[in-house]
A and B are shown apart, each in its own frame.
Chain A
C-alpha cells in the first residue's frame, strides 16, 4: 500500500508507531512550506490509521504464500472468529440486562478514574458532591417514567413545551447520560407503531433540537439503520422549520426559468384561436339544429373574442397554467417569481392582452424589438411565459 511508502515504515497496526512515523515525516513536509506534500502525507496517515489488522495480514501474505502459512492463518482466523462470536455472546447477554444497570456500571468505573486525581481541592469536592447527590440510577428511572408518560399522548408530545423538563434535568448535562437518554427516546419513537408517521416526525422534530439529532445522524444510523432514521428525521437537517408535509399542487415552478420564444407564443395563441373557431363552429352547428342560425352566425367573431377573454384567464389561473395551445407547446404562465398566478392577476393579464392587441400595429413592433422576448402585455401585467 502506498501509504506505508510515504510514511517510510512497514505496514503496522500500531497507532503509536504510525503517529511517530507521521511526525518525523511531517518535519520535511510542513503544512505551510509544502502544502501539496502535506496533503498527500496527511491523507496517507489517515489511511494508515484506519487500517484494520486483517487487511495487513492479507497484504503480507500476498507476497509469499507457502501452504503452511495459509493453514496457520486459517487456524488463526477461525480462532478470532470464535473469539468474535464469544464476544458477541457476552454483549448480547449484557444487552439482555436492564438498561439501568448498564448505566450504573459505566458510572462506577469513571468514578474510580476520578478518584485517582484527588489533589484539586474545591472543585473536585463539588463534583464529587454532585455525583453523590445525583444518583444516576434513580435519576434515569424518574426520567424514563416522565418520558414514557409524555409519549403516551402523541398530540402532547409533538409540542416542544411538554419536553421542557428535559432542559431542567441536572443529570442530562452529563454527555454520556444524555447520549443514552437520546438513544432510548429514539428507540421509543421508532416503536410507536400506532401513531401516524407525520406525528412521529413532529415529535422527532420537537425532541431533535434538544438531543441534537441532526448532528448525531451518523451515530443514530449506525445504531438503528439508515432507513429508520431517514423515516423519522427526514432528509432535512434543520428540524423545527419543517412541519408535517401537506398536500399541495405544483404552485411553484422549480428548475431554471427559461423564457419561451416569441414564435412559440405566437403559435400557441394561433392554436387557441383555432380551438375557439372550432368551438364556435360546433356551437353554430348545435344552434343551427335548434333553429337559431341567423342570430348566432353573425356575431360569431365577437362571441369568439368574448369567449377567449373569459375562458383564457380561468385556464391560466388553473393548475393547467395556460390555455390548451400553451399546454400543447409545453409553456406556461407564472408570475415573476415562478408562482402560479391567481384569477385576478390572470384577468389583468388578459385585459392587458386585449388592450395591446387593439393597437395591434404598434405592439407588434414593440414586441419585435424587445430583447428578452417578453411581450407587452406580459410586461404590463408582470407575468412571464416560460417552459414547463
Chain B
C-alpha cells in the first residue's frame, strides 16, 4: 500500500511520495508542485481548490477563503462560503482531498494512507484537528511529523556530513519553528525544538498592508473585501519583489492612491522590527534548552518561503555570525522530508538504517493548589509532568494526593505551557477521578502522561486505593467534534462536488481573467471582458482541439497583461 506525504501549509501545500530511494514530489492537475491552500465555492456550488481559488480571492472574496490553517484547533472558527459554513478542519480536509486526488491520478492507484506534516510547535488540539482533517478527506493519517524534523531528514540524508549538529529554522506562511538536530550513523536525533505559532510570512505582509493603508489614510473597516484582496495581493507581490530589489513601486491599486507608491527595503525592515525581535526568542530558547553555544552548531539551515526575505537572512547571519544555508528549495523541502517519513512507514528497504527520534516541544503538566496564593490573583500552580524537549515517545507517572479532608473527587486539569501559573498556560482538558473519603493527603492517584510519536497526548489516572482507572485521550472541548457532528460533517463534505480535474486549467484561466477584470478599468477592462466571453463561448462548443488552441492564446494574453501589471 502506497503512503503519500503531505505538507499542509498555511499558504501552499504539496504532496510527495517515496520512489526508488528518493523523495518525489507529485505535481497537481496544473502540473505545478505547489498547490495554494485556498478554497472557494463557485456559482454552481462546486468547490475550487488551489490556483483557481487563489485568483478568485480577488474577484469573489465572499466565496473564497485562505490562511485557515491559522485557526485550526481553535474554538468556534467558522467560515461562510456561499451558502455553506465550514470549520477550518473541513477546509483543510478539502485541500487534502484535492491533493489526494492528484496523487491518485499521478500514481494510478487508490491512496488511503498519508503522513502529514505539522508545525513543531502545534499543540495537541491543533494536531488532533489536523489528523481529523486527514480522516475527513478519506486518508488514514499514519503519522504526523514536525515540519522542521521533516526538513532535517532531507538535509540529514543528503547534504550533511556524519555527526553534524544543525539548526533548522522553518518560517512558513503562518508559523515559525526552530529545531536543533544531530545526525549520526543513520540516526536523526532532534535535541530541542521551539517555535511561535503566529509568526510567519503573513505577518510581514500584514505590516506592509497596514503601512499602505496608513500612508493613504484608508480606513480598513470601510474597505470592501474585493478592494482589500486587491491590496493584499499587490503587496504580497511587492513583498516578494523586495527580496530582489532595494525598492518597489506600485501602480495605483486603490482609488485613494493618486500616484505610484514606493516602499524600500529599509522602511520595511524598520516596520518589521517587532517581528524580527520575536524571531530571536525561540532560537535562544532552543539553544538554551539544548545547552549548546552557537559555535557548536555546524550549520544553520533555512526552510520555508518566508526565510527568503533578506532581512530574515541578515538577522540570522547577525545572530550566528555566519551565513545560513538553504541549498534546497525552501518551499519544497518539507514535502520531500514528509516523503522520507512515508517511505519509512512503508518499511522501504532503502531506508532500513534510518531512525528518527523527535522531542515534545512544550511542557505538559497538571494544575495543583497554590498555597502562596494569598489574593486569589495567581490561581493554581502548574506542575510539569513531561518536560519540554523530552524525547518521544515518552510516558511519565507522577503521584498526586488530596488537598483537604474528606475530599471525594480529584479534578485533574491538563495544561500545556512553560509558565509557573496555569492561567498563563494553555488548557487542554479535564479529567475527574473519584476517591474515597479520607484525611488530607491520604488518597493518592497516579497520573500517567503518554506522549506518542505523533505528538498526541494520552492521560491515564489510577486511584491507588480502589484500583480504579480513568483514561483520556485529550479531546479539546472546542474544535473537535462529537461523533454525531463528525458524521454530519462527513456527510456534508461527501455532498460537495470538487471541480472536475480535466477542466481545471480552463477554470484557472477564467479565474485569472476575472481577477484582471476586477482590478482594471476602462478600455483594458472591456478588452478583458471581450476575450473572456469569447473564451467561454469556445468552451461551450466542446470542440477539444479548438479549446486547446484558444486556451493557449488566452493564457499568453493574460501573461502579457500580468507583465504590464502592477509594478512600474
Contacts and interface: CB of A to CB of B under 8 A. Distances in A.
B323 A20 contact: no
B440 to A, nearest CB: 9
A248 B374 contact: yes
Given A24-B185, A167-B273, A254-B370, A114 B376 contact: no
Contacts of A170: 318
Given A23-B355, A252-B374, A254-B370, 17 more contacts: A24-B185, A26-B187, A32-B393, A39-B394, A114-B322, A123-B314, A127-B318, A130-B317, A131-B321, A167-B273, A167-B277, A173-B315, A176-B295, A178-B284, A215-B288, A216-B288, A337-B376
B375 A251 contact: yes
Given A173-B315, A254-B370, A238 B420 contact: yes
Contact of B391 (A42, A131, A235): A42
A221 to B, nearest CB: 13
Contact of A237 (B287, B370, B407, B418): B418
A31 B393 contact: yes
Given A167-B277, A252-B374, A175 B393 contact: no
B353 interface: yes
B371 interface: yes
A237 B420 contact: yes
Contacts of A120: 323, 325
14 contacts: A31-B357, A32-B143, A113-B322, A120-B323, A123-B313, A123-B323, A127-B314, A127-B318, A127-B322, A131-B321, A212-B284, A237-B418, A254-B373, A256-B407
A237 B404 contact: no
Interface in A228-258: 235-238, 241, 248, 250-256, 258
A69 to B, nearest CB: 34
Nearest to A131: B321
Interface string B368-391: 011101111000000000000001
Contacts of A176: 293-295, 321
A52 interface: no
B404 to A, nearest CB: 4
Interface of B: 143, 163, 184-187, 273, 277, 280-281, 283-285, 287-288, 293-295, 313-315, 317-325, 352-353, 355-357, 369-371, 373-376, 391-395, 403-407, 418-421, 424, 452-453
Given A39-B393, A175-B284, A252 B373 contact: yes
A22 interface: yes
A19 interface: yes
B321 A127 contact: yes
A174 B319 contact: yes
A30 interface: yes
Contacts of A39: 393-395
Identify the interface centre among A26, A167, A175: most chain B CB within 10 Å of its CB: A175
The 8 closest A-B pairs by CB, nearest first: A252-B376, A23-B185, A173-B318, A127-B317, A256-B404, A35-B393, A237-B420, A23-B187
Nearest to B143: A32
A218 B424 CA distance: 21
Interface residues of A, number: 56
B353 A27 contact: yes
Contact of A235 (B323, B374, B420): B420
B294 A175 contact: yes
Contact of A130 (B318, B407, B424): B318
A255 B404 contact: yes
A258 B348 CA distance: 61
B65 to A, nearest CB: 35
B319 A219 contact: no
Given A20-B185, A42-B391, A127-B317, A255 B371 contact: yes
Given A31-B393, A127-B321, A255-B371, A19 B404 contact: no
A237 B370 CA distance: 15
Nearest to B373: A254
A216 to B, nearest CB: 6
Contacts of B374: 248, 250, 252, 254
Nearest to B454: A32
Contact of B295 (A23, A110, A216, A337): A110
B323 A22 contact: no
A74 B407 CA distance: 59
A262 interface: no
Contacts of A163: none
Given A20-B184, A42-B391, A256 B420 contact: no
A30 B318 CA distance: 39
A213 B185 CA distance: 37
Identify the interface centre among A111, A113, A173, A255: most chain B CB within 10 Å of its CB: A173
A124 interface: yes
B284 A215 contact: yes
B288 A22 contact: no
Contacts of A113: 295, 322
B317 A19 contact: no
Interface string A22-53: 11101100111001001100100000000000
A58 interface: no
B379 to A, nearest CB: 10
A16 interface: yes
Interface in A320-342: 337-339
Contact of B419 (A238, A250, A251): A238
